[in-house]
Structure 1
Amino acid sequence: MKKYFNASMAYLILGLIAGVFYREFTRMAEFTGQTVLKGLHTHILVLGFLFFIIVLLLDKNFGFSKMKGSKAWFISYNVSMVYFIATMVARGIAQVRGIEVSGLSHIAGLAHALFGAALVWFIIIGNKMLKEQAE
């Protein structure tokens, strides 16, 4: 349970830092256009902080961490989340700087696919967990 709380705290801190980074980076660059950096902190806070608070509650009430595959899922979710965040930061910095990065869309697409797979895996584990609780 503690690892879910620690992950939640880490994403809270990272999300708040991302919000400050967006504000200060665009201000220093005198950038007024659209950039994915604007939504980065929201993504981190919802998909990191809030998500792991929910997982923490599932673990406390239903024993999510005792489910087969939950440890591997936790690692894959966090790796894909960090990859996802890194691609958003790279795209956002490129947008603010006016740099065209070829291939970034493919890299970001892979990050989204990995993250989506981790979410599906979470649902599969959660479904098994609920079925075991019903027995």
Structure 2
Amino acid sequence: MRKLLGTAHVYMIVGVASGLYYRELTKTKHFTGESQLGVVHTHLLTLGMMFFLIVLALEKLFSLTSSPLFTWFFWIYNVGLVITVGMMALHGTLTVLGHDAGGAIAGIAGVGHILLTAGLVLLFITIGKRLPPDARPRSEPAPDPVVDPVPESR
């Protein structure tokens, strides 16, 4: 659980720092246009800090870290997020500085998105395996309240 809290904390620090970087770089360069740099901090705070705080709560409820798939999720998702926001930051910085970003940055960012998706799939599989089984056996249908009314007690 400490690892999840630490991960959320790191993303909070980097997210806030990236917002400061965006503000100061655009102010220094007198840049008033649109760039991907403006949403890097939002991505880090949402997909990093908030996401891992939610996973921390899910860990408390379902002991997700006891599944071997959890380690795969953790590292694949983090690598995907770092690649994605790294390419966003690079692309945005190049835009602010007046340079063309090129297609390679978009391609690498696409790899980051693919890894994020794979990490999310692994997380959902992990959660599904850790959910408690249904209380009612699958062969026994649920009672229909219209057909099988509850008997009144006197």
TM (normalized to structure 1)?
0.93
Q: Deviations over 1:22-71 (max 9, x none)?
A: 10011011100001111111110010101100111111111011112111
Paired residue for 2:133? 134
Q: Give the structure 1 partner of residue 143 of structure 2.
A: none
CA-to-aligned-CA distance 1:46-103 (integer Å, 9 cap, x gap): 1010110011111111101111211122111111111111111111111111211322
Partners of 2:30 and 2:20 in 1: CA distance: 15
Deviations 1:92-121 (A, max 9, x none): 111111211322211111111111111122
TM-score by length of 2: 0.82
1:84 to 2:84 alignment: yes
List gaps (5 residues or longer) in structure 2: 135-154
Could you tell me which residue of structure 2 aligns to residue 122 of structure 1? Answer: 123
Aligned length: 133
The equivalent residue for 2:41 is 41
Distance 2:82 2:115 in 1: 11
Counterparts of 1:45 and 1:8, CA distance in 2: 9
* Structure 1 segments (4+ residues) deviating >4 Å: none
Equivalences for 1:44-123 in 2 at 5 Å? 44-102=44-102, 103-123=104-124
Unaligned runs of 5+ in 1: none
> Could you say which structure has the higher helix fraction?
1
CA distance in structure 2 between the aligned counterparts of 1:24 and 1:39, rounded to whole angstroms: 14
